[in-house]
Amino acid sequence: MLVGTRRHEIMKLLDQKQQVTINELSDLFSVSQMTIRRDLDLLESEGKIQRSHGGAVKVQRYMGANYEQRSSEHPVEKAAIANEAAKHIRDGMSIILDAGTTTAAMVNELERFRNLKVITRDLHIALLLSNEERFGSLDVYCTGGRVSKWAYSMDGIYAERMMASITVDIAFMTCEAVSHDKGAMAWSPVLVGARQNSMKAANTRILLADATKFSYTSLAIFSDLEAFDEIITDDRMDPREIEIFRSSGYALNVVSVK
- At how many degrees (to 10) do helices 22-29 and 33-45 cross? 110
Mean pLDDT of 42-63: 69
- The answer, yes or no, to whether residue 82 has pLDDT greater than 70, is yes
With b meaning 16 or more CB within 10 Å and e meaning fewer, what string describes 3-18? eeebbeebeeebeeee
Residue 212: per-residue pLDDT: 86
> What is the reported pLDDT for 59?
62
- pLDDT for residue 65 is more than 60: no
> What is the per-residue pLDDT for 221?
93
Query: What is the 3-state composition of the chain as percent helix, strand, coil, each rounded to the nearest 5?
Result: 45, 25, 30
Residues 156-200 pLDDT 10s: 999 999 999 999 999 999 998 998 888 999 988 888 999 999 999
User: Taking the model in full, what pTM does it have?
Assistant: 0.77
Q: Are 257 and 82 spatial neighbours (Cβ–Cβ below 8 Å)?
A: no
User: Which helix (H) or strand (E) segment is 70 a member of?
Assistant: helix 67-71
Query: Binning pLDDT at 50, 70 and 90, where does residue 76 land?
Result: very high
Among 73, 108, 80, 92, residue whose Cα is nearest residue 216: 73
Q: Which of these, 44, 66, 79, 72, lies nearest to 152 by C-alpha position?
A: 66
Count of beta carbons in the 10 Å neighbourhood of residue 204: 15
Amino acid occupying residue 15: D
Of 35, 152, 161, 58, nearest to 103 (Cα)? 152
Q: How far is it, in rounded angstroms, from Cα 7 to Cα 25?
A: 10
Most confident range (mean pLDDT) of 27-31, 35-39, 93-97, 217-221 is 93-97
Q: Residue 183's beta-bridge partner residues?
A: 179
Q: Which pLDDT score, from 0 to 100, does residue 144 have? A: 93
Taken in order 47, 188, 148, 130, the sign of the CA dihedral is positive
Domain layout of the chain by residue ranges:
3-58, 67-255
Mean pLDDT of 73-89: 94
77 band by pLDDT with thresholds 50, 70 and 90: very high
- The answer to whether domain 67-255 has CATH 3.40.190.10 is no
The model's confidence at residue 45, banded by pLDDT at 50, 70 and 90, is low
113-142 tens-digit pLDDT:
999 999 999 999 999 999 999 999 999 999
Half-sphere exposure of 76 (CA within 13 A, CB side): 5
Average pLDDT over residues 18-38: 90
Mean pLDDT rounded to a whole number for the chain: 89
Task: Beginning with the edge strand found earlier in the chain, give each strand of the sheet holding 19-21 in spatial order.
Answer: 19-21, 55-58, 49-52
- Domain 3-58 top-level CATH class: mainly alpha
* For residues 71-87, average pLDDT: 90
- The per-residue pLDDT for range 200-250, each reduced to its tens digit, is 999 999 999 999 888 777 888 999 999 999 999 999 998 888 998 999 999
- Answer with the residue of higher pLDDT: 49 or 242: 242
pLDDT for res 219:
80
